[in-house]
Amino acid sequence: MASTPEGPLAYLGPPGTFGEEAARRHAPDAALLPLPSHAEVARAVEAGEAAAGVLAIENSLNGSVAETLDILIHETSLPIQAELIVPVTHHLVAAPGVEAGAIETIYSHTQALGQCRAFLRERHPRARLEAALSTAHAAQLAMERAHEGAAAIATARAAGRCGARVLAEGIQDRRDNATRFVVVGARPPAPTGRDRTSIAFRFADDRAGLLAAALAEFASRGINCTKMESRPTRASMGEYVFLIDFEGHARDPRCAEALAALEAMTAHLKVFGSYPRAGGG
């Protein structure tokens, strides 16, 4: 739990999303500002309309949230202030009167659809899957299009808010499904001794051994890299931005040395932020 921010806390809305749950867990007493996309969440913080914003960044079943990674890489300089892990339980919901056997279309956020693949394949193989802006938005669509045999994958809270009923509970592929959220804001946090740092970098050219040399800067200093992946640069096919999470704060001497060495060998290095690890672990 964080201290209450001095202003609204923005999240991917409408109310009833896991983004709202993450926002409430992060700052239970904060005023909340629901927005239609993660890009709008970051924009609101940059514009001073919100003190901080909550972004989903990674799911234990479906992997990274590409939209959030691209926002951090290309669209904002807001530092990550915190992270938190939120358990995720999905339900199949529909308007009263819509039975499971009559479902023709199932709406949800693309991440939720990906986290429920086995259920959808086994129970509704012929249903058309349609992307929604969020799971709460999907529940609203299911209510509005009930006459078309619509249903949604959503939270129980979202279903209750719009009057939908739950047809099947806990339909995610694993019970221990969880999503990692990050909180972005104007002020970077001070070191705590149990931090994580997230960075992105790209090379000027493509040569054998470049990535290995970059990783060696961390390994040689005993710094544990906890995650690594890549995203397209958006400039040219086959060019990538590499992303690394590692244990430690950018101000820690060993980490600062590794980042300085990495900056010297790359065309561009961006530090998304150093922040307390979720649960202190």
Catalytic residues: 179, 181
Beta carbons within 10 angstroms of residue 128's beta carbon = 13
CA distances from 159 to 154, 205, 220 (A): 7, 50, 51
The residue written with tokens 């104007």 in the block is: 186
| Structure-token pair, residue 143 | 């209510």
The three-state (H, E, C) secondary structure of 102-155, written as one string? HCCEEEECHHHHHHCHHHHHHHCCCCEEEECCCHHHHHHHHHHCHHHCEEEEEC
How does DSSP assign 11-45, residue by residue? EESSTTSHHHHHHHHH-TTS-EEEESSHHHHHHHH
Beta carbons within 10 angstroms of residue 1's beta carbon = 10
Torsion over CA of 280, 258, 233 and 225, rounded to 10 degrees? -40
Strand pairing category for 150-154 and 91-94:
antiparallel
Q: Are 158 and 135 contacting, i.e. CB atoms less than 8 angstroms apart?
A: yes
The residue written with tokens 């939270």 in the block is: 155
| Structure-token pair, residue 86 | 């939120």
Q: Are 146 and 94 contacting, i.e. CB atoms less than 8 angstroms apart?
A: yes
